[in-house]
Amino acid sequence: MEPIYTSATVTPAYQLRWSLSLFAGQPLPASDLWLSELRQKVEEDGVRILEAQSRHGNTWQFFLSTRPEVAPPSIVKSVKGRLQHLVRETARKAFRRNFLLAAIGNAKREVVEAYVASQLDHHRMGDDRVQSALQRFQLAFPEVDLSQRQTTAHGAYLYNMHLVLVHAGRWNEVREEALAGTRDMVLRIAHAKGHRISRLALLPDHLHLLAGFPATSSPEEIALGYLNNLAYAHGMRRIFSFSYYVGTVGEFDTGVIQAALDRS
């Protein structure tokens, strides 16, 4: 069965930002000798270096933004691999194997949690019975701790995102059986793919999902997976628009990161 939603047919809106810490095994050449070229090279991989600095001796911290098709391991490979190549003449084994890649958002995670939790109040229905019915589709999973890192043999990831899907034509769906179908499919996808949902808010014309995701999946892959599976759940109907919003969410916001960089 051919997917309805693909990278060629869907237009994303996104704000994907990251803090990448690399640990050098030896002092690196001054950044003015390689940073400009590194910026150009990683752009080819869908990665943009916003800031870079040396911290605490041989630790290098990069503030990055990425495109939706770039999965977290590819971010690390792009920056680390290309930088190693640029400094190979003076630092043959520049970096240790370990690293930390952490998602960063415009707002801290707890702020986004509260925002998703308050969606039903922000979009009140005129009929109290409908408002009451919709309350059953505002889900919280307090046992899910999105501050926990994913660790691998090579490093650690903190990969949380806020996903928003909007109904085609902003169609309002208030039938409980249809909303239950959407809810059940979202939970089924999350269980099958290892997505750790913290909050799910179903509204008549859109949904919000806040979750932690496996590092191997790109934001684009995740969004398209939900779009196509939800279409399947509703009889292969194009329930949602050919678009999505996805944004990284972290324990620190961009303002905190920028202030730390400015102080250095």
- Give bridge partners of residue 66 from the DSSP assignment: 47
Contacts of 229 (CB under 8 A, 6+ apart): 185, 188, 189
At 55 the pLDDT is 79
pLDDT of residue 68: 98
257 contacts: CB under 8 Å, gap ≥ 6: 19, 63, 104
Q: Tens of pLDDT along the chain (264 residues)?
A: 789 999 999 999 999 999 999 988 777 888 899 999 999 999 999 999 999 998 776 888 999 999 999 999 999 999 999 998 898 877 667 777 789 999 999 889 999 999 999 988 776 766 778 788 899 999 999 999 999 998 988 899 999 999 999 999 988 888 999 999 999 999 999 999 999 999 999 999 999 999 999 999 999 999 999 999 999 999 999 999 999 999 999 987 766 555 555 555
Which tokens is 9 given?
A: 């047919």
| Strand duo 11-15 + 243-249: pairing | parallel
What pLDDT does residue 90 have?
76
**Model's pTM, two decimal places?**
0.92
Planar angle of CA 189, 215, 76, nearest 5 degrees: 155
Token readout for 76 is 């690390």
Residue 169 phi, psi (nearest 5):
70, 15
What are phi and psi for residue 236, nearest 5 degrees?
60, 35
Amino acid at 183: R
Give me the torsion for CA of 200, 222, 70, 153, rounded to 10°: 90
**Torsion from C-alpha of 207, 208, 214, 215, nearest 10 degrees:** 120
Name all domains of the chain by residue range, CATH numbers in brackets.
13-105 (3.30.70.1290), 107-153+160-249 (3.30.70.1290)
∠ at Cα 148 (140, 165), nearest 5°? 45
- For residue 168, the model assigns a pLDDT of 94
Query: Checking phi first, is residue 236 left (phi over 0); if not, alpha (psi -120 to 50) or beta?
Result: left
